Amino acid sequence: MTVPNSLTSGQHTVVALGVDQLGVTHTLAFTVTIQPTTGSLPVTGLAMTWIVLAAVTSILTGATLTTSGRRRC
């Protein structure tokens, strides 16, 4: 089932009609609630900024110490 983008927020009833192999008609109905959109998605997951910054700092510090240690010998 595809919900159209133009569907307004609020409660809506979805109705499905069908006929089985014996010709018996079946109806299924359920209510859905469409929440109003805020214009942006919520932020999920781990904030990686500090982890990436710490990793880059560690790599640069290690490279600097390795390079300065080789110059003294």
Query: What is the pTM assigned to this prediction?
Result: 0.43
* 66 lies in some domain: yes
pLDDT of residue 1: 76
* 2 lies in some domain: no
* 40 lies in some domain: no
What is the tens place of the pLDDT at every residue in 8-61? 889 999 999 999 999 999 999 999 998 887 777 777 777 788 899 999 999 999
Going from the C-alpha of 49 to that of each of 31, 45, 46, 52, the distances in angstroms are: 42, 12, 9, 5
* 57 lies in some domain: yes
> What total of structural domains would you count in the chain?
1
* 4 lies in some domain: no
pLDDT band of 71, cuts 50, 70, 90? low
Range(s) of the domain holding residue 20: 10-35+47-72
